[in-house]
Structure 1
Amino acid sequence: MRQRLFNAIIKHAEKEYPNEACGLIVDTGKTQKFIPCKNISDNPKEHFQISPDEQLKAEEQGEIIMIIHSHPDSPMLVPSEFDRIQCDYSGIEWGIVSFPEGDFCTISPRCDRDYTGRQWLLGYADCWSLILDYYQREYNITLKNYSVPREWWENGKENIYEDHWQTEGFIEVELSDIKLGDIIMMRLNANVTNHAAIYIGDNRLLHHAFGQLSSRTPYGKYYRDRTVRIVRHKELFDAK
């Protein structure tokens, strides 16, 4: 990174300290410039969020080639899994600077990641997040994101899966008719449906269980006994 850009980033990080600073690097076609942005996160000491309006204004000046934010009081600069997931979603490179230490690193979106071995991060890397990615990549079907960073099923009053599976275009099918790509809805240690997995054939499912790495697992008695229903997306009924 050019020294003048780095100096501008450090200056902004110092100004926003102890909050996380954030900004954008834009390529204007003639030069690259750092555009400092306001952190509008509800928890600016631990997270950052750039407003869509500021991002649009930056895009008017050129192509956004990097998203920048700081890690205050971080003696060892290590990108968090949350950083990496958000970078994946953004589709562009991220730059992270520690302040006041002044270390700097970059991370890039992880394209075509394997569906297994993903770290668990409730609300961002969980069972529904995995289904979103799988359906987008395998079938070009875009589903809405209902993942939230809290254990919503514990009080038994919220029922996110039951409230939305039909509106997302899924139709119930019999277990005896289960096919590749069907979704298995389950109750795992809860009074409401709180888990879902993708059937991948050969009596196996792909899922991201609470607190574990995502995995391919046999669809055995444990999961069968906890199955609420099998559903298939309407666009897959004619799929071979």
Structure 2
Amino acid sequence: MRKKVLEAIQQHVAAAYPNEACGVIVQNGRAQQYIPCRNTAEVPTENFTLAPEDFTAAEALGEVLMIIHSHPDVVQLIPSEMDRIQCDWSGVEWGIMSWPDGDFCTLSPRVDRDYTGRPWVIGYADCWSLIKEYYSREFSLALGDYSVPLEWWIDGKEALYDDNWEKEGFAEISTSDLRHGDIIMMRLQSSVTNHAAVYLGENIILHHLSGQLSTRIPYGSYHRDRTVRIVRHKELMNA
């Protein structure tokens, strides 16, 4: 990274401290430029939300090369799993600077990463986000986002899966017709459907349970007994 750009990042990070700073590096002709952006997070000392209009304005100046943010008052600069997930989603490199230490590290998006072994991060790496990515990569189908950073199923007042599977283009099928790509929807210690898995064939499912790593396991009696419905996307009916 060019010294002038790194100095601009340091100045912004120092000025924003103790909040997290955020911004982008753009390629403007032959020059690289750091564009400071606003952090609109509700708790800016703990995380960041880059103002969308600031990002749009930066894109107008040139190609976005890197998204930058800071980690204030950390003992050691280690990217969080949330950082890695959001870097994957962004599709561009990320840079993180600790402050007041001034250490700097970069992340690259993880391309074609395995579906298993992923840490649980509620609202960002859970059963639905896994299904959403699987459908995008394997079937080129875009599903709505029903991963939210709270345990909405606890009191039974919300039913995100029950209320939205038909809207997402799924139709219920018979258990006897189960095949690759079908979604198995379940109730696990809840009065509403709160878990879902992709059927991979040969009695294997891919899923991500709360608090655990994502995994492939046999579709055994525990999950069969808690299955509410099995659905297939209408685009896959004749596949």
TM-score (norm. length: structure 1): 0.99
> Which structure 1 residue ranges, 5 or more long, are not aligned?
none
For 1:225 and 1:164, the matched residues in 2 are separated by 22
For residue 4 of structure 2, what is the aligned residue in structure 1? 4
| Cα offset, 1:202, TM superposition | 0.5
Does 1:237 find its partner at 2:222? no
Cα contact 1:75–1:101 (8 A) shared by 2: no
Residue type matched to 1:129 in 2?
S
For 1:210 and 1:24, the matched residues in 2 are separated by 33
For residue 66 of structure 1, what is the aligned residue in structure 2? 66
For residues 1-240 of structure 1, the aligned pairs below 5 Å read: 1-239=1-239
TM-score (norm. length: structure 2): 0.99
Q: Deviations over 1:155-214 (max 9, x none)?
A: 111101001000000000000000100000000111110000000000010000111110
| Cα offset, 1:75, TM superposition | 1.9
Cα contact 1:186–1:223 (8 A) shared by 2: yes
> Which structure 2 residue ranges, 5 or more long, are not aligned?
none
| Cα offset, 1:6, TM superposition | 1.1
Residue type matched to 2:144 in 1?
K
| Cα offset, 1:56, TM superposition | 1.3
For 1:186 and 1:38, the matched residues in 2 are separated by 41
Secondary structure of the residue aligned to 1:123 is coil
For 1:29 and 1:144, the matched residues in 2 are separated by 37
Secondary structure of the residue aligned to 1:193 is coil
| Cα offset, 1:42, TM superposition | 1.1
Cα contact 1:179–1:201 (8 A) shared by 2: yes
Which consecutive segments of 4 or more residues in structure 1 shift more than 4 A?
none
Secondary structure of the residue aligned to 1:33 is strand
Cα contact 1:22–1:37 (8 A) shared by 2: yes
Secondary structure of the residue aligned to 1:61 is coil
Secondary structure of the residue aligned to 1:154 is coil
Q: Deviations over 1:69-127 (max 9, x none)?
A: 00000120000000000000000000000000010000000010101111100100000
For 1:25 and 1:10, the matched residues in 2 are separated by 13
Identical pairs, percent: 61
